[in-house]
Amino acid sequence: MGNVDDMRQRRRYIAVNDEAEGDVEEYQQTHRRLSDRVERLLMQLVILGLVGLVLVQSMALYPPVRRMINLLEGQDGYALQQDSPVWQQLVERARSTLTAANEEPQPQVVPAGAAAANLSITVVLMNAPSAPQAKLLVGGKVAGHFEGGTVTCPVQAGQMVAVDGTGTDQELTFRVVAAPGLSQPVLGHEVTTRGNRQNVGMVRPAQ
Express each pLDDT in 37-91 by its tens digit: 888 899 999 999 998 888 877 777 766 666 666 655 544 444 445 555 655 666 6
Indicate the domain borders of the chain: 2-69, 107-205
Spatial separation of the C-alpha atoms in residues 150 and 59, rounded to whole Å: 55
DSSP 166-187: TT--SEEEEEEEE-TTEEESPT
Which segments of the chain have a pLDDT < 70?
1-22, 62-91, 93-117
pTM attached to this predicted model: 0.45
- Residue 131 and residue 175 in contact, taking contact as beta carbons nearer than 8 Å: no
